[in-house]
Structure 1
Amino acid sequence: MARTHEWMFYEVMWRSWADRARVPYPVPWWAQTAFRRWSDDFDPGTYESKEAAFASNALYRYWHMVGVKDHRQESLVGQAGEIEPVYDKYCLAFFLYDPAAGTVGVPQLAECGTVTQRMEAPHVPEVVTTFRAADGLGFTQRTFAVPVGPRQRDLTVTRLSVTGAGGPPREGWLCAAVLPAGPSGFQRHDRRDPNGTDRRLTFLRYLPDEARVETNSGWGPAFDTAPEYYGVYGNPDFSLDPATYLARSPFHDLAVSGKLNAALQAQDQVAGLCSAAFAWPFRVAGDEVFEVDVRLPVDLYSGAADLAELRATPAAELAEANRAFWTAKLIGQGVQPGLPDPVRHLTDLFRQARSQLLVLSDHGEIHPGPTVYDSFWIRDSSVEATACSLVGDAALAEHQLGTHYPGRFNRGTGRIGPCAEYGFYGGPHERDDHEWDSNGQALWAIGRYDRTAGRAAAFGAKLYTPYVIDGARWLRDNRDGYGLLHSGWSAEHLGERDKPHYWDDLWGLAGLYEAARLAERLGTPDVRELWAAFDDLKQATAASVRWVLDEQRRRGEWETYIPTGPGDVGRRDSTMIGAAAYFHPLRLHMGSKLGADVDRAARWTLDTMYGRFVTGGFRHEAAWNAYGPYLTTQLAHAYLLAGDAARMDALLGWAVSASMPRVDDRAVALGAWNEQHAFPVASGFTEVPYRHWYMGDIPHGWAAAEYLLLLRDILFFEADEDHDPHVYIAPGVRPHWVPDGESVTVEDAPTLFGAPFGYRLTHDASARTVTVDIVRAPERVRYVYPCRFGSVRSASADGRDVPVSGDDVHIPAGTRRFEVSYA
C-alpha cells in the first residue's frame, strides 16, 4: 500500500504533467519519461507499491554529477540544470518569467524552449546548462563544487547569466525554485530499508536578512544577491486533495496572477511537498549580462561566522580555482593517453572517468555511486583502486587498500553463515549478503598494488600479517564439500544468492595467486602453504567446470559455455557473464592456470555470450532486464586479452555511446555510465520492456574504473610478470584509429613491474610501416607488438632485423626503437 506522501507526489506529478499547457511546472525528466510510457508494473520484491517505485525513481536514474575530491557528499545535476545535494532535502531549479506576457518558461518542458548541456571541459567537473525560451530569451547556468575556507568545507556553486541578444532591451525575471524532488527522485525506500532516506520537505523558510533558505532543519541555498520577489508555499490546512498542491504553487501564482505570495515560511506535514520561488528582475540590452550567483552549503555550516566564510570568496574566483585544480590534477598529473583525432574523444572520456572516481572517493574510500551506492564494497573498490593505481592516482589507491581494507578485516570468533568470521574481508554488504568473492578481491588488489608501487614502497610487507596470510587461510578453510566457495550473492549480476558461483572461485584463485607471489617476494615461510591452497582451489574449480561441461554435452548442448555456477548446468542465459572475469581482470588464461581445456571453454563462452546477448552492448535480461555498461566493458576487455581486437572495438564503441545518451535531443548523461542502461533510453524509446527493470547509480565507479583499465590496456598491458616479463604494445589500437602520419603516445604510465613505461607509435600509411620509440621502460622487460594494420613482412629493433612469425612481433628487452613493415 502506498504511503500518503508517495501517493500525493505521484498525483501531483502526473496532474502537473497533464496540465502543463496551462501552468508550466518543472516536472523532472525522469518523471516525464515514466509518464511517456506508463506501466502499473513495478518490482514488488523491492517496493511496496507503484507509487513507492515511482517516488524512488526506479526506472530512469540518469543525471550528471559535481563534487569535491575526497569529500563525502556530491551534488547531482538534472537534464534541465536542477541541482540536488545528495543528502540535503531539496532541489534547486531555475526558470524564466515574462511579466509582460504572463508566461512561465521552465527548462524541464520542451514546450517552453530548448536546453543544451555540456561539461566545461572533459577534465573539469562543471556542468554548463543553457536554456533558450521560445521568445529567444534565455540563460546559461554553470554548476561546480569547491572546498572553501580554512577548513576546506564543501560548497556547490551555480552561476547564472542572462545575456542580451544584441538587439533592443529585453526584460524579465530570472527565477529560482526550491522543490522537494530532484534528479534522483522524491524519496527512496524499499523493503530492505523501509525507512529509507526521508527527503520530504516539510518545513521551508526564507531569511531575507541573510538572503538564504532553511529547508527542514538544515541550510538551503544562499543567494549572493537578494531576490526582489519571493514566495514560500505549503499545505497549512493539512489538505489531502492533490488539487490543493497544484493551486498553491509559485508556478500557478505566476501563470495566473503574475506574482508570488511574499510568504516567508510554510509547512506541509501531509506530503512534504513544500516549495518556494525567488525572482530577480532584469533588463539587458545589446551584449549586457545580468548575473546571479547561488551557493549550496553541502557540508555542515551553522551560524553567522560560517555564513560569512561561505560567502567570503567571490564566485568567479571559486570557478577559476575549480578549473585550475582539475587541470593540474588530470592533465598535469597521471597517465596522459595521446590518441589521434579519430579517437581523441577516448582520451576525453578517460579524464572524465578519472575525475568521477576522485569525486566518488570519500576520504579515501571510493564508493560506487553518489546515492544508493554511496558506501564501501570490497568488490567494487578492488577494481577501482587498481584502476587508480595504474592511471596515476596511486595515493588514493594506497589509502583505500592500506587503510580501509584493514578496517573491513573481521577479527571476531563467530560465524557468518557457513563460514568463519575471522579472516573474512567485509562490512555489512559482504556479511549480510554472503559475498564470498571479497577475500579474493582484497588479496588480488593488495598484491597488484604491491607490484605497482615497487619493492621500495614495501606495501605488501606492511599488510602481509595478518591481512594477507590470514585472508588467504580463510579462502583455504571456508569452502563447501566440493572444494568451492559456498553459495552466496556476491556480484548481483550473477543470479540467485542460494547457489554457488564460479565468479567467487575465480576471484579466490586470483587472490591466492597474488598472495603466494607476495610471499615469494617477501621470502616468508608461508610460500608452500599458499601455493598448496591455490592448487587445491584450482583443482576443485577446474574439476567442477569440466563436470559441468561434460554434463551439458551429455544433455545435447551444441554450444560450449561455462554457466554462472555448478548449480546451473544448462543455464544458457546472460548470468554466464561472470566467466569473463577468467580473462579480465584475473588473467587466469595467462599460463593456462586451470588447464588448456578450461582456457578453450572460457574463450568459447565469450563467443556464446557475444552471439546470444550482445546487441551493440551486453544485454543482461536474466537479472537486470537492461544493458550492462560495465559488463560490456568487461567483455570488451576479455576480448582484448583473448586477442580479438575487432570485437573489443565494437563493444568499446557501444560503451562510449552509452556514456552520452540523448533522448528527444536532450543530453541524458554527459560522459558517465549507470550500473544499468535502460532499454528505452538506449533505443530512443523504440524498445520498452513489458516488465520492470533494475537501475543503479550514475556515475558508476566500477564502470568508470573498467573504462580506465580498458583504455590503458588497449595502449599496453603486462604479461608473465614473475617469469618472463613482457609488455604488449598497442594491442587494441585499431588501424582506423591512426591515420597517416599520426601517433599514439603514452608517457610515464605506472606498471606492474614497479617502474613507469612510455612509448610513441607513429604510422606511415604510404610506406606501410609502424615505428615505435620506447621513451621509458622498466629494466629487463621485453615487448610484443601485435600488428593490427596488416600481415607483418619484416621488423627491426634498433636497426637489427628480428625474426618474424605471425603478426605478433617479439622485440628484445632494452630496445629503444623498432620498426614493423606490413602488407
Structure 2
Amino acid sequence: MSLNNFLWKLFMSRVARKHGFVDPMVLFSRLVRFSQPSEVAAPTELLRATAVLHARGLVNSQAIQHNLDWVWPYWVNRQFDPRDDAFVPRAFSLTHINLTHRTWTALGLPDSPETPLVDPRGLVTPFWDGWSIDGWIMRKSDVVVPSHKKTVEQKLDIHEQGYAVITKIKDENTELCINSRLLKSEQQKEMCYTCYQLKGQGSLVISVRPYNPEGISFIESIDVLEGQAALLINNEHKIFFDRQWSKCLLSNYKNGDVVHRLDEDGGLKHVKCPVGLATAAVVFLNPTQEELEVNVTVPLKSDKQKKSCIVRDSSNKSSWTKALEKTPILKIPDQKFQHLYDVAVRTLFIHTAEDVFAGPFVYKRFWFRDAAFILNALLSLGMFDRVENRIQQFPARQKISGYFLSQEGEWDSNGEVLWLLERYSRLSHRRLEDEVYESALKGAQWIIKKRLRDNLNKPHSGLMPAGFSAEHFGPNDYYYWDNFWSMAGLSSASYLAEKAGDNKSADRFLSQSQQLKSCVEKSLQIVANRLERLAIPASPYRRLDSAAVGSLAAGYPLQLDSQKNTRLIDTVNYLMDHCLVEGGFFHDMSHSGINPYLTLHMAQVLLMLNDPRYLDLMTAIARFSTDTGVWAEAMHPRTKGGCMGDCQHVWAAAEWVMMIHHCFIREEGEKLVLCSGIPEEWIKDEKMISLGPVRTRHGKLALDIILSQDTIEICYTARWHTQKPEMEVRFTDDRLKNKKINLVEV
C-alpha cells in the first residue's frame, strides 16, 4: 500500500469515528472477506452508475412520498399503493427506486443514436435522462390521467407506420390515443414526434412533467415563446405544438402541481422553480366534442433560433424499409413469437446505429460482453457492414496491455472479443483489417499472461484470476464463465492467426487454449468430487445455485464440448429443477427477477441436447414480454414489469433472434442441424413456414417447410462459401420424428 493510500484511509477512519459513524475501512475489510482475493474489489464504473441511481432515488424520496396528490409516473402509482402487488414498503429505504415497472420502450430509427422513451402509460421522455410529456383528458368533474389507469392498450406498430408506440386510454365515452415516433426533419434532424387524438367528451391537456420512468428529472424554468405555439424548457429545449392552445398554465413546486390549477385562466409567460419541479399544462378545449388532434414535436438537437418544426412523416417508415430489406424474413403461425422476433430485429438496429448499446436509457453505454452477443445476432442477420463498423472501434477501447476494458476487474471480455472476431471472419468470409487483427493478437497475449500459474495446487490453479462479474454471479471469484470465454477466445485467436498465415501464433494460441482446458478439467473434477455430482457451479468454491447458469456458456454459445456432455446436462437439469419461477429462470443474485436472456441460454442448451423443454422456456419468456414486445434485464414475477436494469434490453432481443434462428438452422461443429426447434403446432395446418436467408459459417441458407399429409417437405436455397456442408434434419418434437422427410434444394 502506498503512503498516500495509507494516510487517506487513516484520515477516513478517524473522521468517521469522531462523528460516531461506522469506520468505513473496517466495514470494507469485512465486505471483501466474502470474496476471493482479487485485483479490483469492484469496478469504478459500476460504483459510479450505482451512485447515480441512488442519487436519483434519494431525490425521489424527498419529492414523491409527501406529494402523492401530484401526477406521478405509472411505476410510482403502483409501487406506492399498499393495495397493489407492486407495493414496496419504504420504511428504512434511504432511496426510492423503480423496482417493479422498469418497462419502457424506445423510439428509434436504424440510422440514429437517439432513443426517446415511452412508458407503459404513454409518458414520452424525449431526451436521455430528461423530463417528460404526458397527455390527459380534462372533463368538467375530473381529469383522466393515464398513469392512474390499471389497464390501457399499448402496442408497437412496426408495419403500418414503420416503428411507432401507440397507447390508447379509454374512459367511459372518451378515448385518448397517443402515437409516438422518432422522425426526421427536412434538414435530417431527429425529432421526437407525438400525435394526441381525443375522441368523445372532454378536452385535451398536454403536460410537461419533471420526471421520467426512473424518477425526478429537474425542470427549473419554463417559458411560453412569444408568437409561437411553443414552450422553452430549462432555457434549452423547445416543444412545438401544431395548433394554438386555448390556455397555458404554469406552476412551480411552491404552488403545487399544475394539475390542481386547470380551472384557472392562465396567462403566465414564465415560471422558475429553484427546487426543479416546474410543471406546465397546455389545454386544448373541445366544446364541440368532435375529434381533436394535436401534434407535438421536440427537436432533439437544441436550436434556440428555430421558430417552427416540420417533420417528414414518411422518414420513419422509409428508413426502416431500407434497413430491413436484406434481413431474414420469418413466417410462422405463432403471432406472439413472430412479433417478438420482428421487434427484436428492430431493437438490434436501434441500438447499434453509431455504437453498441445494451439499452436505450440506463444501459446506454458500451460493454464488450453485451456487444459480443448483440453483434453475433447481427451477423446471423447478415448485417456484415454494420458489424464491421462496430468492430473497427474495438482497438481504441483496448488498453496497451491488450486488455479489452469494459469494467476493470472483469476477465471475460478478451475471450468474447476474440470469439466474435472469429464469428465475423467465418460468417462474412472477410479478412480482418490489419489494426483489428493486431488488436486480436494483443488480446490473446493478454489472456495468456493473465492466467494464474498452474502449479498452485488449488482448485483454481491455471485459471483466470478472481474477478467481479457483471452477470451478477456473486462476490469476486474464479468464475468458470471467465475461463470458458478465455478458452474459446484463445481457440478463436488460433483460427484468426492461421487465416492470416501466422502459423507460429496459431499453434501457440491453440496450445494455450488446450492448457487452459486441461486446468479447467482438473478443477471441475475436484468440484465434482466435492459436490458428488457433475453439475458445474459458478466457481470452484461455490455450491450449486442460480449463478451456475453462467457455466452453460460452455454449451451455448461456445460449443466447447460435445452435445452429450454430462456436466452440461446435469447443470441445466439442476437449474430446471431449482431455479424456475413462472416457467422462467429466476436469478437470485442482484436481479431477483426472471432473466429473459439467461432463460434463453438454458433453452439453447436444451435444444442442443434435443430436450423438448426448450419450448417451455421460450413460451414462458414470451409471456413475460411487455405489450410492445420487449423485455427488461429481469422481470418481476408478480407485476410482470421490469425489476432490474434497462428495458428494451438489447441482449435479450439478440437472444430471441438467435433462438428463433436456431429453431430452424443451427450450427453444430461443422454440421448444420435443420428444424430441431420446429414444434408440430407450427406446421400441423399444412401451411408453409419459412425463415431466411440466415447466415452461417458455411454461407447463407433459407428454409421453406410444409407438412403435406405424412411428409414434411423442406425446401432450401443456399449460397455456400465453399463446399456444401453436412446437413441433418433433426426434429426434437416427438410428434414429428416419425414423419417422412423430403429435403430438396431449390
TM exceeds 0.5?
A: yes
For residue 61 of structure 1, what is the aligned residue in structure 2? 102
For residue 404 of structure 1, what is the aligned residue in structure 2? 393
For residue 153 of structure 1, what is the aligned residue in structure 2? 189
Give the 3 Å change call, closer, same or farther, for CA 624–711 of structure 1 in structure 2.
Answer: same
Offset at 1:681?
1.3
| Alpha-carbon distance in 1 for matches of 2:59, 2:410 | 38
Residue from 633, 653, 672 that aligns with 1:675: 633
Matched, 1:523 2:490: no
For residue 525 of structure 2, what is the aligned residue in structure 1? 546
Matched, 1:345 2:341: no
| Letter of the structure 1 residue corresponding to residue 639 of structure 2 | V
Q: Is the 8 A contact 2:694 2:700 kept in 1?
A: yes
Give the 3 Å change call, closer, same or farther, for CA 64–75 of structure 1 in structure 2.
Answer: same
For residue 577 of structure 1, what is the aligned residue in structure 2? 549
Q: Is the 8 A contact 1:208 1:226 kept in 2?
A: no
Q: Is the 8 A contact 1:230 1:277 kept in 2?
A: yes
Offset at 1:385?
0.4
SS at match of 1:108: helix
Q: Which whole-Å deviations, capped at 9, do the CAs of 1:338-383 have from their partners, x for residues lacking one?
A: 21x2x133222111011112112251x1211122211100000000
Matched, 1:740 2:685: yes
Quick check: 259-268 or 116-125, which moved more? Answer: 116-125
| Alpha-carbon distance in 2 for matches of 1:9, 1:600 | 50
For residue 13 of structure 1, what is the aligned residue in structure 2? 64
Offset at 1:392?
3.0
Residue from 270, 273, 284 that aligns with 1:268: 273
Matched, 1:381 2:419: no
Give the 3 Å change call, closer, same or farther, for CA 623–15 of structure 1 in structure 2.
Answer: closer
| Letter of the structure 2 residue corresponding to residue 129 of structure 1 | T
Q: Which whole-Å deviations, capped at 9, do the CAs of 1:501-547 have from their partners, x for residues lacking one?
A: 00000011111122212222332232211111111111111111111
| Letter of the structure 2 residue corresponding to residue 573 of structure 1 | D
SS at match of 2:163: strand
Give the 3 Å change call, closer, same or farther, for CA 694–89 of structure 1 in structure 2.
Answer: closer
For residue 143 of structure 1, what is the aligned residue in structure 2? 180
Offset at 1:7?
6.8
SS at match of 2:143: strand
| Alpha-carbon distance in 2 for matches of 1:679, 1:338 | 30
Q: Is the 8 A contact 2:222 2:232 kept in 1?
A: yes
| Alpha-carbon distance in 1 for matches of 2:215, 2:163 | 22
Offset at 1:58?
4.2
| Alpha-carbon distance in 2 for matches of 1:279, 1:64 | 27
Matched, 1:563 2:563: no
Offset at 1:212?
2.0
Q: Which runs of no fewer than 5 residues in structure 1 stay unpaired?
A: 20-24, 43-48, 165-169, 187-198, 236-243, 412-421, 554-558, 661-668, 685-692, 799-814, 818-823
Q: Is the 8 A contact 1:173 1:282 kept in 2?
A: yes
Matched, 1:704 2:683: no
Give the 3 Å change call, closer, same or farther, for CA 505–3 of structure 1 in structure 2.
Answer: closer
For residue 483 of structure 1, what is the aligned residue in structure 2? 462
Matched, 1:774 2:740: no
| Alpha-carbon distance in 2 for matches of 1:785, 1:358 | 31
SS at match of 1:638: helix
Q: Which whole-Å deviations, capped at 9, do the CAs of 1:474-511 have from their partners, x for residues lacking one?
A: 111111231111111133322112x1100000011111
SS at match of 1:563: coil
SS at match of 2:707: strand
SS at match of 1:210: coil
Offset at 1:622?
3.4
| Letter of the structure 1 residue corresponding to residue 538 of structure 2 | T
Residue from 323, 335, 352 that aligns with 2:328: 335
| Alpha-carbon distance in 1 for matches of 2:80, 2:425 | 51
| Letter of the structure 2 residue corresponding to residue 676 of structure 1 | A
Matched, 1:131 2:169: yes
Give the 3 Å change call, closer, same or farther, for CA 726–88 of structure 1 in structure 2.
Answer: closer
Q: Which runs of no fewer than 5 residues in structure 2 stay unpaired?
A: 1-20, 22-52, 454-460
Q: Which whole-Å deviations, capped at 9, do the CAs of 1:752-790 have from their partners, x for residues lacking one?
A: 12x2111211112xx322111122242321210113354
Q: Is the 8 A contact 2:252 2:277 kept in 1?
A: yes
Identical aligned residues as a percent:
23
| Letter of the structure 1 residue corresponding to residue 745 of structure 2 | R
Give the 3 Å change call, closer, same or farther, for CA 302–740 of structure 1 in structure 2.
Answer: closer
Offset at 1:326?
2.0
Residue from 207, 210, 222 that aligns with 1:177: 207
SS at match of 2:98: coil
SS at match of 2:615: helix
SS at match of 1:535: helix
Matched, 1:390 2:380: yes
| Alpha-carbon distance in 1 for matches of 2:248, 2:729 | 66
Q: Is the 8 A contact 2:692 2:701 kept in 1?
A: yes
Instruction: Report matched runs for 1:305-324 at 5 Å.
Output: 306-308=306-308, 311-313=309-311, 317-318=312-313, 320-324=314-318
SS at match of 1:50: coil
| Alpha-carbon distance in 1 for matches of 2:716, 2:654 | 26
For residue 241 of structure 2, what is the aligned residue in structure 1? 223
| Letter of the structure 2 residue corresponding to residue 639 of structure 1 | L
Give the 3 Å change call, closer, same or farther, for CA 184–8 of structure 1 in structure 2.
Answer: closer
Residue from 627, 631, 638 that aligns with 2:594: 627
Give the 3 Å change call, closer, same or farther, for CA 84–461 of structure 1 in structure 2.
Answer: closer
Offset at 1:251?
1.3
Task: Output the aligned Cα RMSD.
Answer: 2.6
| Alpha-carbon distance in 2 for matches of 1:353, 1:296 | 26
Offset at 1:90?
1.5
SS at match of 2:297: strand
SS at match of 2:266: coil
| Alpha-carbon distance in 1 for matches of 2:623, 2:208 | 33
For residue 35 of structure 1, what is the aligned residue in structure 2? 80
| Alpha-carbon distance in 2 for matches of 1:676, 1:80 | 20
For residue 665 of structure 1, what is the aligned residue in structure 2? none
For residue 103 of structure 1, what is the aligned residue in structure 2? 142
For residue 24 of structure 2, what is the aligned residue in structure 1? none
Give the 3 Å change call, closer, same or farther, for CA 794–68 of structure 1 in structure 2.
Answer: closer
For residue 467 of structure 1, what is the aligned residue in structure 2? 439
Offset at 1:284?
4.4
Tell me the TM-score normalized by structure 1.
Answer: 0.78
Offset at 1:86?
3.7
Give the 3 Å change call, closer, same or farther, for CA 5–759 of structure 1 in structure 2.
Answer: closer
SS at match of 1:643: coil
SS at match of 2:463: coil
Q: Is the 8 A contact 1:90 1:220 kept in 2?
A: no
For residue 666 of structure 1, what is the aligned residue in structure 2? none
SS at match of 2:244: coil
| Alpha-carbon distance in 2 for matches of 1:797, 1:137 | 56
Residue from 294, 297, 302 that aligns with 1:295: 297
| Alpha-carbon distance in 1 for matches of 2:613, 2:398 | 39
| Alpha-carbon distance in 2 for matches of 1:794, 1:654 | 28
Q: Is the 8 A contact 1:163 1:290 kept in 2?
A: yes
| Alpha-carbon distance in 1 for matches of 2:479, 2:123 | 42
Give the 3 Å change call, closer, same or farther, for CA 790–777 of structure 1 in structure 2.
Answer: farther
| Alpha-carbon distance in 1 for matches of 2:539, 2:257 | 55
| Alpha-carbon distance in 1 for matches of 2:302, 2:54 | 32
Instruction: Report matched runs for 1:493-508 at 5 Å.
Output: 493-497=472-476, 499-508=477-486
Q: Is the 8 A contact 1:68 1:147 kept in 2?
A: no
Give the 3 Å change call, closer, same or farther, for CA 40–107 of structure 1 in structure 2.
Answer: closer
| Letter of the structure 2 residue corresponding to residue 322 of structure 1 | N
Q: Is the 8 A contact 1:86 1:370 kept in 2?
A: no
Offset at 1:654?
0.7
Matched, 1:649 2:615: yes
Give the 3 Å change call, closer, same or farther, for CA 81–795 of structure 1 in structure 2.
Answer: closer
